[in-house]
Amino acid sequence: MDASPDPTMVFTDLKDLHMFLGSSRTSVNRPGWEARRLDFSAASRDSSTLSLPSPNASSLARGQKRHHDSLVGFDVTKKIREKDSEIINTRATVTRLQGRLHEVEVTHKKAKLEADAEIRTLQYRQRRDKELIDDLQCKLKKMLKGKEEGRESVKSARAQWDTANLEAGARVNKMQQTYLEESAKMQEKINDLQEQVTHLEEEVAEKTSKVTLAESHTEVLEARLVEVQEKHRRAEESQAQGEEQKRQLNQALSRVRDLELQQEGFKEAQKQQEVLEAAMFKLPSLEKELAKLKENNKFLRDTSRNTQLMEEKLTSALQQVNYLEKRCEDRASHQAKAEMYKESLDRFECIVEEEFGLGRRGTPEDLQGHLRQLRKGDQVLTDSLGQLRASYKSLEDGRNQEVVELNLLKTKLQKQEHMTQHQAGQNKRFNRRLLLVSKERDSLKGILNSYESEATINYSVVGQDRVRGLEGQVKLYRQEVERLNVELQEACSSTTSPAAAAAVSSQRMEDAKKITGLEEKVQSLEEQMGGIRQEKEVLELRLEHRALKGDYDPTKTKVLHFKDNPHARALENRKSQIEKLQTENESLQQRVRLLEQGETLNLTQRVGVRVAAESHKEVVELQEKVSRQERQNKRLMEAFQRKAREMREIVYRLTGYRVDSCGEKQYKLIHMYAESPDDYFLFEHTPAKEIQLLETEFSNTIDDLIDAYLRHENSYPAFLSAVTLDLFNRQTKYQAQSTSEEEEEEEEEEEEVDDRKGNKRGDQKGQKPDDDDDDDDDDDDDACVILD
């Protein structure tokens, strides 16, 4: 902006002019000045003419008149000069005031043009804000359409889910797979709806942020509008002041005309003075000297007064200069603030134009209306979001109820399967007892005979305990055989009629079908058990890996740290002292090297640069060494873990035992032939470097082996090998029993087919004992082979 005079400066200058003119009037109207005026009135002329008859009086009056006229003429010339200087000064001030008035008018025009430009920019912003409001309305309509589509999709999904729920309730046992598929689809749809809800929430948050930005921008625009209005008001005030200055200028011009008239009067008085001076030359020299002395005194007084007046004017001018300088400084700061405000206003206008699409001439009312519409849209979106959440919650509650019902049905199914498995197990046990009584009886008799024939005087205590245990088992088996024979006779007596035989055969077929189904389930469960064991082994390996890394279980181990450890503090102090000494040593070495090289300028700076470079190199080298050492340690850990896994696998395959660490100095051994994961040994390594077997459920079932190999012989390898043989024999015996059961079931099916073909009942009765005897003989042979 161009430098323009301040209106207050113009007013102060006009005030000074009026004060100056007023002082001149007062100086003219002083009492002493009236005494110096020339009296050209008729009364004075008459008195002079009346005093002519007396010669002495006339000569004295004539001399006094000449002296008075000389004095008055000198004063008149001096005052004329003063008036001329005052007229020149007033003309200069008038021209200066006219220039300042012109500058004020120019600044007023500039302010008016700037106000017009700002009004145009505000109108443009208003239009742009209106366009932004229209765009946002279109976006809100699209969002409402999307919301309606989402509602329709939710309704359709709810209807599908209800139909699926009804079908699943009607056919829960037959259509579980379809129900799971429908529930998965519903979950996907719910996830999609959740994503839509989150997306809508994000959009609502964005709209709210835009609304807040628009509100802040409207506030800034309102403040700017207030500033513009204030500027316009100031411009109007400056215009009024300019008119006042014009009026004062006219007054000054009229005063100048009056002064010019006075100057003409003074010129006429000067002419008259010249006429009177021609008559004054005749006064005596004394009067001339007296007049000169008086004139000098008066001149000195006037000069002293003029100097005082000029000093006062000089002080006032200096004060005005200081005030004007301060005003200039304030004006520069105000201009900088105005430019800053203008830049901020432009930025706000750009933000509103970019964010809301409103033009630069948009009004605050349009922006306020746009914000109202945005708030309404935000409220609508929040309402729709609440409805969507309520619908989602209802769907989630329905889904949870269905999941609970499905879990109840699954628990019922599991209970039923467990009952069938229990019944099938009981049937298998009964069948095994019926089939193996005779086999085990004969095999045990053969074992007893062999032990008795091999017995000598050096018979060990282990053999005696074994014989006693076998005799007890024989007694138990004999009692079981007798009981089963009684049950068999009762069953044979109850199946004499053909109807009962047909019922028994049908029952056997149903039992066989159930047994096959249960065997398939057992196989599937065994496969699942194998997968779970593998996962367990993997997890155990991971736990071992973490233990090797230094991890610990926070539930079992508690680490205590000193809050203020004196040892750590002393180490840190020692480390800091060593580092400080090292840095000082390196800086001194570098200083010595530089001095040896003959460099004396900027030694401290060069030493610091070299030390920093060397320390940086050392840090880089140490980091590389640390990284290499970490990679080497990582490779060693991986190699160690790989070797440990290989060693564990080899030991497991060779000895049959998998060794796991559980707790401090406790080790768990699980055999590969164990019937269940709960069959394991638990050993403890005591501080006396001895091994102790801890009590478990599996160890309670093999007290005879513990007594034979641990309590008497104290041999853990022999004990473990005996357990291995025992578990191996049990597993092979179970396999042989299962094959014999399968053969018997096939024979029974063949017998039923023969019954249907019409064979006789007696032949069947005669054939069955023979077959049974043959089977018993075969089974006895098999049992003998297995025990050997």
Query: Average pLDDT of the chain?
Result: 71
The tokens of 7 are what?
Answer: 């209106």
The tokens of 393 are what?
Answer: 């919650």
The number of beta carbons lying within 10 Å of the beta carbon of residue 617 is 10
**pLDDT at residue 712 in the model:** 86
**pLDDT at residue 359 in the model:** 62
Residue 400 CA to residue 394 CA, distance in Å, equals 10
Residues 6+ apart with CB under 8 A from 665: 684, 685, 686
Residue 354 CA to residue 132 CA, distance in Å, equals 9
Would you say residue 62 lies in a domain?
A: yes
Q: For 105-149, list the strands marked E by DSSP.
A: none
Percent of the chain with pLDDT over 90: 1
Q: Is 700's pLDDT higher than 70?
A: yes
More confident call, 780 vs 738: 738
Would you say residue 435 lies in a domain?
A: no
Contact 399, 168 (CB under 8 A): no
Residue 690's CATH number: 3.30.457.60
The DSSP secondary structure of 683-733, one letter per residue, reads EEE-TTS-EEEEP-TTGGGGHHHHIIIIISS--HHHHHHHHHHHHHHHHHH
* CA distances for 783 relative to 426, 609, 788, angstroms: 23, 93, 9
**pLDDT at residue 628 in the model:** 86
Residue 704 CA to residue 464 CA, distance in Å, equals 12
Q: Which of 365, 397, 414 is the last residue of a domain?
A: 365
Residue with tokens 């640069």: 609
Residue 64 CA to residue 287 CA, distance in Å, equals 10
**pLDDT at residue 713 in the model:** 84
Would you say residue 212 lies in a domain?
A: yes
Would you say residue 460 lies in a domain?
A: no
Residues 321 and 331 in one domain: yes
Residues 351 and 263 in one domain: yes
What is the pLDDT averaged over residues 234-260?
A: 76
Per residue in 507-558, pLDDT (tens digit) is: 667 766 777 776 777 677 777 777 777 777 777 777 777 666 666 566 666 6
Confidence of residue 188 (pLDDT cuts 50, 70, 90): confident
**pLDDT at residue 786 in the model:** 31
Residues 676 and 544 in one domain: no
Q: What 3-state class would DSSP assign to 659?
A: strand
Residues 648 and 763 in one domain: no
**pLDDT at residue 562 in the model:** 66
**pLDDT at residue 381 in the model:** 82
What is the pLDDT averaged over residues 605-611?
A: 63
CA-CA-CA-CA torsion sign (536, 539, 544, 547): negative
More confident call, 33 vs 552: 552
**pLDDT at residue 788 in the model:** 28
Q: Which helix (H) or strand (E) holds 5?
A: none
Would you say residue 478 lies in a domain?
A: no
Residues 644 and 660 in one domain: no
**pLDDT at residue 533 in the model:** 74
* CA distances for 531 relative to 127, 543, 587, 731, angstroms: 72, 18, 67, 20
Q: What is the DSSP letter of 556?
A: T
**pLDDT at residue 780 in the model:** 42
The tokens of 379 are what?
Answer: 């409220």
Helices 498-549 and 716-757 cross at an angle (nearest 10°) of 150
Contact 433, 738 (CB under 8 A): no
Residues 651 and 783 in one domain: no
CA-CA-CA-CA torsion sign (701, 704, 705, 710): positive
Residue 219 CA to residue 234 CA, distance in Å, equals 22
By mean pLDDT, which of 148-157, 193-202, 398-407, 427-436 is the weakest?
A: 427-436
More confident call, 154 vs 408: 408
More confident call, 460 vs 649: 649
Contact 466, 454 (CB under 8 A): no
The tokens of 742 are what?
Answer: 């399968």
Residue 406 CA to residue 140 CA, distance in Å, equals 43
Confidence of residue 773 (pLDDT cuts 50, 70, 90): very low
Confidence of residue 779 (pLDDT cuts 50, 70, 90): very low
Would you say residue 197 lies in a domain?
A: yes
Residues 151 and 60 in one domain: yes
Helices 285-356 and 7-28 cross at an angle (nearest 10°) of 160
Contact 283, 66 (CB under 8 A): yes
Residue 724 CA to residue 603 CA, distance in Å, equals 83
Residue 235 CA to residue 114 CA, distance in Å, equals 11
By mean pLDDT, which of 105-119, 339-353, 359-373 is the weakest?
A: 359-373
The number of beta carbons lying within 10 Å of the beta carbon of residue 41 is 9
Residues 6+ apart with CB under 8 A from 78: 302
Would you say residue 487 lies in a domain?
A: no
Residues 591 and 691 in one domain: no
* CA distances for 449 relative to 445, 452, 454, 471, angstroms: 6, 5, 9, 12
What is the pLDDT averaged over residues 1-27?
A: 56
From first CA to last CA, the distance across the chain in angstroms is: 120
Q: Is 103's pLDDT higher than 80?
A: yes
Residue 671 CA to residue 329 CA, distance in Å, equals 98
Q: Is 147's pLDDT higher than 80?
A: no
Per residue in 439-459, pLDDT (tens digit) is: 666 666 666 666 555 444 334
The tokens of 724 are what?
Answer: 């291995």
The tokens of 758 are what?
Answer: 């019409």
Residue 287 CA to residue 752 CA, distance in Å, equals 186
Q: Which residue range is the domain that position 86 belongs to? A: 7-365
Q: How far from chain centre, in Å, is Cα 55?
A: 123
Q: Which of 615, 637, 655 is the last residue of a domain?
A: 655
Q: Is 638 exposed, middle or buried (0-12, 13-18, 19+ CB in 10 A)?
A: exposed
Per residue in 157-176, pLDDT (tens digit) is: 677 777 766 765 666 566 66
- Per the DSSP assignment, residues forming a β-bridge with 657 are 671
Residue 52 CA to residue 284 CA, distance in Å, equals 21
Residues 113 and 186 in one domain: yes
The DSSP secondary structure of 27-70, one letter per residue, reads HHTSHHHHHHS----HHHHHHHHHT-SSHHHHHHHHHHHHHHHH
- 266 phi/psi in degrees, rounded to 5: -65, -35
* Structural domain count of the chain: 4
Residues 606 and 681 in one domain: no
What is the pLDDT averaged over residues 760-781?
A: 44
Would you say residue 112 lies in a domain?
A: yes
- 117 phi/psi in degrees, rounded to 5: -65, -40
Percent of the chain with pLDDT over 70: 61
Residues 126 and 242 in one domain: yes
Residues 320 and 221 in one domain: yes
**pLDDT at residue 37 in the model:** 42
Q: Is 249's pLDDT higher than 60?
A: yes
More confident call, 136 vs 743: 136
What is the pLDDT averaged over residues 692-708?
A: 88
What is the pLDDT averaged over residues 74-96?
A: 79
> Which range is most confident: 7-21, 363-377, 464-478, 627-641?
627-641
**pLDDT at residue 586 in the model:** 77
Q: Which of 599, 627, 655 is the last residue of a domain?
A: 655
Residue with tokens 């105000």: 334
Confidence of residue 438 (pLDDT cuts 50, 70, 90): low
